[in-house]
Structure 1
């Protein structure tokens, strides 16, 4: 290791109890372990994501118009800003090459690469899969599906680690969706998620409920917090059981 960001990525994985060859669910790490609010929404094609901090609260926004694999790299990149860019209150991350002119953005990319695809783990899985044979496209697809990263990202990493040649990188770059389907893999990794509604994963509603249960806020304040936080549906939409009872009553009176 000859880069501080690489060391930080290794330490972050160790803190999470991950072996070098284990895949990491970056979305789960951010939301469930770090308590970071995570939102997926359509943004400009030129943007990958956005990081915002206010006090102890943090929000990461990921561009859903990018492929799922790309989104995971973006989330890992923003994870670096959350953990190590302590002075930053907001940061927009545009689409650029992996090697950035901005030193901090370059460090965030190096962190993301090593957090998602640690050298030791990639080599272990590569040689376990190929068993010393020359890799083919099915091996590349297996690896990117295993680690949950984009096809381009996997090819870049394998070339960087001298596991494939420049010619192989070029040859393997074609028709990945078609090839993944032929080999029986899901193609979700290679597609965007912009067809879905805006998705938000946040501990906000849970914290508000805990304050209410502890008697620290009134129910009126609880409702106000939910509405301000975009969780009005938790107040105004009937619970499933209640809705079922309402339907039963309507059916009874319609006879």
Structure 2
């Protein structure tokens, strides 16, 4: 790579949020823009705040987790249940951000106030994609391993370090084949 001359300013546009269509690309963007947590996961709230087309609101959603809605082609709103624990809110933000990146053209047709975690085992492919996207943003494999090491393989402590729920971390560990950190 050639060195940048002093005073040079690129005329190339900054990376468009629509180019962040994989968790890996989002994490790379976060790394390049100082948007990572202490455990190298996405700082999801700051990431959402940086996108001019997104707004984040905390509302009473009763039994719903979160929603994303399209107000116009350049105006999307992520709503998070203000009653939920902060770690649950973070996963909801990441899940809805996943819909924004992966399913943006379909958001107008999605039900507002969807359920994010389907504990009855029923989940459609679109929701599974958003859940996986969120898990990869908040719990990248290297971050999970780093937190588990710092927590002496105690899942509850590692979940606190990663700022996620124990249930979310257990699910991620199973998906990574780490069998509760062992």
TM-score, normalising length: structure 2: 0.71
For residues 76-105 of structure 1, the C-alpha deviation after alignment (integer angstroms, 9 at most, x for no partner) is: 010011122121243332141396532111
Name the residue aligned to 1:152.
Answer: 167
Distance 1:97 1:8, change over 3 A: farther
Task: Answer whether contact 2:41 2:140 (CA < 8 A) is retained.
Answer: no
Number of aligned residues: 151
For residues 128-147 of structure 1, the C-alpha deviation after alignment (integer angstroms, 9 at most, x for no partner) is: 442xxxx3xxx323322221
Alpha-carbon distance between aligned partners in 2 of 1:107 and 1:57, rounded to the nearest angstrom: 22
Q: Unmatched 5+ residue regions in structure 2?
A: 1-20
Alpha-carbon distance between aligned partners in 1 of 2:155 and 2:162, rounded to the nearest angstrom: 11
Deviation at 1:39, TM superposition (A): 0.6
Provide the aligned C-alpha RMSD in A.
Answer: 2.6
Task: Answer whether contact 1:24 1:147 (CA < 8 A) is retained.
Answer: no
Alpha-carbon distance between aligned partners in 2 of 1:148 and 1:98, rounded to the nearest angstrom: 24
Secondary structure of 1:62 counterpart: strand
Query: Which has the greater radius of gyration?
Result: 1
Secondary structure of 1:97 counterpart: coil
Q: Which has the higher contact order (CA 8 A, sep 6+)?
A: 1
More helix by share: 1
Alpha-carbon distance between aligned partners in 2 of 1:97 and 1:27, rounded to the nearest angstrom: 25
